[in-house]
Amino acid sequence: MDGFDFDYWKNLAERDPAAYFRARDDVLRECIAEHPGYVAGLAELQGHIDSTRVLAGSPLQASRALFGLMEDQLHRLGATLAELQRETEGLRAILAPKGK
């Protein structure tokens, strides 16, 4: 997605919404294909994003719903990081030389 041209995409969406969505889908497919080890997960995530947008009813509601999903994911990642830090400290304590 080098050189993203906001004005191009904005104008395309305003001028020809069907062409915008076709081009958007093409770019998303290309982006997903560039990450072969993650194709299934990225495709699933994009499907979830698209479904959320369709069901939301308005762009504002879609944005709120998607930000909520991102917030939930960040909380999960934070909890996982905290658990990894606890485990790392536990391993350090086990592996530390005795008497120090």
What pLDDT sits at residue 52?
94
In angstroms, rounded to a whole number, what is the distance separating the alpha carbons of residues 95 and 14?
A: 62
Q: Record the pTM.
A: 0.69
pLDDT digits (tens, 9 = 90+) for 53-70: 999 999 999 999 999 999
How far, in Å, are 15, 23, 32 from residue 2 at the CA level?
A: 23, 15, 14
15-36 pLDDT, tens digit per residue, is 999 999 999 999 999 999 999 9
Contact of 32 with 39, CB cutoff 8 Å: yes
Looking at the chain, the whole-number percentage of residues with pLDDT higher than 70 is 96
For residue 60, the model assigns a pLDDT of 96
